[in-house]
A and B are shown apart, each in its own frame.
Chain A
Amino acid sequence: MSLSQLLQEPPYEFEQQDKQRAYEQVMICLSDTADNKMKEICNNLDTDQQDALMRYLYKGLEKCENSLKLLKWHGVLSEVAGLGCIMRVMSEKRKRVL
């Protein structure tokens, strides 16, 4: 599945094991993307997808897996989506956890 498909309907309301599966899929997708394609992909995401991607990035960074790639994604996404996207991840209610 492409990244934008994975981010289309994030599993906010799902069970823990479904969330884990979705997370693993997203991580595979993120690590397989070439560096020069990142900006184009981020530009094509809408606000909801950008927010979801930022949440996945922070979740991945929290687990300390694949940090180098995730930090590269974070830099690109911050530039495209702005600081507001980061604010939404940081200040969100517990309900929107992935």
Chain B
Amino acid sequence: MAQKHQLCSCISALAFNADNTKIALSPNNHELHIYNFDGKEWKSEAVLKDHYQIITGIDWAPNTNRIVTCSQDRNAYVYENIDGKWKPTLVLLRINRAATCVKWSPQENKFAVGTGAKLVSICYFDEEGDWWVSKHIKKHRSSVISVSWHPNNILLATGSTDFKCRIFSAFIKGVDDPNETQALGELIAEYSAGAWVHHVDWSPSGDCLAFTCHNSSIGFMYQNETQFLRIKDLPLVVGGWIGETSYIAGGYDRNPTLFQLKNDKWTRIGYVDQKSTSQTQKKPVNSFKNARSMFGGMVDRGTSSTITKVETLHENNINQLIILNGKFATGGIDGRVIIWPFSLVKKTLNVDLN
């Protein structure tokens, strides 16, 4: 069964810690809330108010236990847990527009921030100056709305509102292995999509790149060719990899969708949130009674419109999706965090997730 948690009225950014007992989220404002799961419910542990505008991205590094947040106020903060308190360190991104997304690199020694200033800020810690330094990757023609690190800690995929998905080298001298030959900001590859690229995601091994676009399509860069799947539903905005051959994505449909690799072709399997057939059997409706109660409602209670019941667990768009241990979590703009176990996905869609 999927667990539903109503934590606030709207979520703009979400992250889980390494053992999935804590959650860091921003309820669509400048505050960073940290919740602790005590076995039954989520309790607020800390509210950090260092930013002064909406926090757009949060990422929690699993090994070093650091949280990085970026905001529309053009700043990023790195939080370290010292004696139970979260101590912030300001990072100067040197941008003149909002930051849109942030991701720690796999080795957690640098992070990438996508911005509305048509560039990506790669930040690393400079030991001599004892501060976080940022370097810029330009070459975008519009805002960068999604970033994803390749497992080798060097390659970075970016999704932009200029309809392209690009792969850059984010090599930093002094932080990365000096045997790498690509310079920072070198464009390795570029893929054209028909519309805004909402989300880019490297598979865990780095062999496949998935990117979701606003024209209701999803592209998989697999074995040197891009397979575009056009879907019949509303666009997908976030996604995550389950193993190497399954990809789960969510968006304006309020329902996570599963894609799988079958015979070297990516195919859409189906929605994860489906009511069981026994529940969807409609009771026989007496239309006279229906009409009478409808008009009766208008007279007695003054109701003039029928309330449409939402059939999914999320009442509004899904805008966060995070893969956890044995399950995945989705956050929506309805303020709900729903945790879906993989067993539910396997049972509902009758598939194998490796």
Docked Cα-Cα span, A51 to B215, in Å, equals 11
Q: Is B221 an interface residue (CB 8 A)?
A: no
B232 near A84 with CB under 8 A, answer yes
A47 near B230 with CB under 8 A, answer yes
- Contact flag A93-B232 (CB < 8 Å), given A84-B216, A87-B215, A88-B216: no
What residues of chain A lie closer than 8 Å to B214, measured between beta carbons? 87, 91
A82 near B194 with CB under 8 A, answer no
Q: Is A92 an interface residue (CB 8 A)?
A: yes
A82 near B233 with CB under 8 A, answer yes
What residues of chain A lie closer than 8 Å to B231, measured between beta carbons? 82, 84
Q: Is B163 an interface residue (CB 8 A)?
A: yes
Chain A 77-94 residues near chain B, CB threshold 8 A: 81-85, 87-88, 91-93
A87 near B163 with CB under 8 A, answer no
B194 near A83 with CB under 8 A, answer no
Q: Is B208 an interface residue (CB 8 A)?
A: no
Q: How many residues of A contact B (CB 8 A)?
A: 13
Q: Is B57 an interface residue (CB 8 A)?
A: no
A88 near B232 with CB under 8 A, answer no
Docked Cα-Cα span, A19 to B137, in Å, equals 41
B195 near A91 with CB under 8 A, answer yes
Docked Cα-Cα span, A82 to B217, in Å, equals 13
Docked Cα-Cα span, A91 to B194, in Å, equals 8
Contact partner of B234 (CB less than 8 A), chosen from A47, A84, A93, is A84
| Per-position binary interface string of chain B over residues 179-201, scored 1 when its CB falls under 8 Å from any chain A CB and 0 otherwise | 00000000000000011100000
What residues of chain B lie closer than 8 Å to A51, measured between beta carbons? 230
B216 near A83 with CB under 8 A, answer yes
| Per-position binary interface string of chain B over residues 282-313, scored 1 when its CB falls under 8 Å from any chain A CB and 0 otherwise | 00000000000000000000000000000000
What residues of chain A lie closer than 8 Å to B235, measured between beta carbons? 84, 87
Docked Cα-Cα span, A93 to B192, in Å, equals 11
Q: How far is the CB of A14 from chain B (nearest CB, A)?
A: 19
What residues of chain A lie closer than 8 Å to B217, measured between beta carbons? 84, 88
B194 near A92 with CB under 8 A, answer yes
Q: How far is the CB of A45 from chain B (nearest CB, A)?
A: 13
What residues of chain B lie closer than 8 Å to A84, measured between beta carbons? 216-217, 230-235
Chain A 37-64 residues near chain B, CB threshold 8 A: 47, 51
Q: How far is the CB of B304 from chain A (nearest CB, A)?
A: 25
**Nearest neighbor of B234 in chain A, beta-carbon distance:** A83
Docked Cα-Cα span, A48 to B217, in Å, equals 13
What residues of chain A lie closer than 8 Å to B234, measured between beta carbons? 83-84, 87
Chain B 133-187 residues near chain A, CB threshold 8 A: 163
Docked Cα-Cα span, A96 to B192, in Å, equals 14
Docked Cα-Cα span, A82 to B257, in Å, equals 15
Docked Cα-Cα span, A22 to B195, in Å, equals 26
Q: How far is the CB of B235 from chain A (nearest CB, A)?
A: 6
Docked Cα-Cα span, A88 to B297, in Å, equals 40
A88 near B233 with CB under 8 A, answer no
Q: How far is the CB of B311 from chain A (nearest CB, A)?
A: 15
What residues of chain B lie closer than 8 Å to A88, measured between beta carbons? 194, 215-217, 230
Docked Cα-Cα span, A67 to B333, in Å, equals 36
What residues of chain A lie closer than 8 Å to B194, measured between beta carbons? 88, 91-93, 96
What residues of chain B lie closer than 8 Å to A81, measured between beta carbons? 232
**Nearest neighbor of B230 in chain A, beta-carbon distance:** A47
- Contact flag A92-B215 (CB < 8 Å), given A82-B232, A84-B231, A87-B234: yes
| Per-position binary interface string of chain B over residues 230-260, scored 1 when its CB falls under 8 Å from any chain A CB and 0 otherwise | 1111110000000000000000000000000
Docked Cα-Cα span, A84 to B194, in Å, equals 13
Top 4 nearest A-B pairs (CB, nearest first) are A82-B232, A84-B216, A91-B195, A87-B216
A-B residue pairs in contact (CB < 8 Å), sample of 10: A84-B216, A84-B217, A84-B230, A84-B232, A84-B234, A87-B234, A88-B194, A91-B196, A93-B163, A96-B194
